[in-house]
Amino acid sequence: MREKLKNAKRIVIKIGTSSLVYPNGNINLSGIDELSFVLADLNNQGKEVVLVSSGAIGVGMNQLGLTARPATIPEQQAVAALGQATLMNIYSQRLASYSKKAGQVLLTRDVIEYPESRKNVTNTLEQLLKMGIIPIINENDTVSVDELDHLTKFGDNDQLSAIVSQIIQADLLIMLSDINGFYSDNPNTNPQASLHTHIAQITPEIMHQAGGKGSMFGTGGMSSKLKAAKRILDCQSAMVLANGKQPKIIFDILDGQQIGTLFMEG
């Protein structure tokens, strides 16, 4: 079944904050460089790659020397504005060293849900791919709000990456996190937890096995990854959840090796 991944032409890669920012709050430059190398090489192979990157607030916190995530929405949005600019600068520099160009796309949920705007976003992404530019997507944290009468947040970048995969009809979503895949229980607290290598359907039992929130710098937990996987399965596509500590693992995933958890029908 994983042999089919070798034929994936259009690939969305989602990288979590924990893979971009060290636990001490400093930026993981080697990880970003390795990820940029992988994106560039996949592009050289003729594959169409889109990166959904978290990390704006985590990088912004690093730039400001903050040790705790700001409590208020305006503070978080200001930190995200600084962090997003810094993060894109790093990506652009690293990709340029491999003779590649990056294009920033910041999205809010209402843009995706409004048909005309959704069409425009889709056209922009298609054009970037056509021009050989690597789209780097993040939620527009500086303006996103979550209110009863005006929902603009995706909730987290797990959902955003699945929605992007849908709208551009990607063959595969590779979700890189700080865990090796989806386990029957939390492997950090239960040594008996077993790794699910393949999941064909998101059942209530599977959802029950998901834990809570992720790292201090991120917002997504395992349940959000399962919700994203359900969205991918519903549109008959595929998703792999794997550890993003060493981004070159993407090459092994696309080579059909049994890495992480594969979400695919069949």
Judge whether 117 is annotated as a binding position. no
153 labeled part of a ligand binding site: no
141 annotated ligand-binding residue: yes
Q: What is the C-alpha separation between 169 and 232, in angstroms, rounded? A: 10
Pairing mode of beta strands 198-199, 261-263: parallel
- Is 248 annotated as contributing to ligand binding? no
54 marked as part of a ligand binding site? yes
Measure the CA–CA gap between 14 and 51, rounded to whole angstroms. Answer: 6
DSSP letter for 175, please. E
Is 218 annotated to bind a ligand? Reply is no
Q: Is 25 annotated as a binding residue?
A: no
144 marked as binding residue: no
At a CB cut-off of 8 Å and minimum separation 6, what does 131 contact? Answer: none
Side chain identity at 193, as an amino acid letter?
Answer: A
The reply, when asked if residue 224 is annotated as ligand binding, is yes
Residue 60 assigned to a binding site: no
Residues 226, 222: Cα–Cα separation, whole Å = 6
Say if CB 61 and CB 146 are below 8 A apart.
no
* 149 has binding-site annotation: no
Angle among Cα 180, 186, 189 to the nearest 5 degrees reads: 115
157 assigned ligand-binding residue: yes
Say if CB 247 and CB 176 are below 8 A apart: yes
Nearest to 45 by CA among 9, 80, 15: 9
Ligand-binding site membership of 18 (annotated): no
Task: Provide the annotated binding site.
Answer: 14, 54, 141, 157, 177-178, 219-225
Task: Provide the annotated binding site for ATP.
Answer: 14, 177-178, 219-225
Task: Provide the annotated binding site for substrate.
Answer: 54, 141, 157
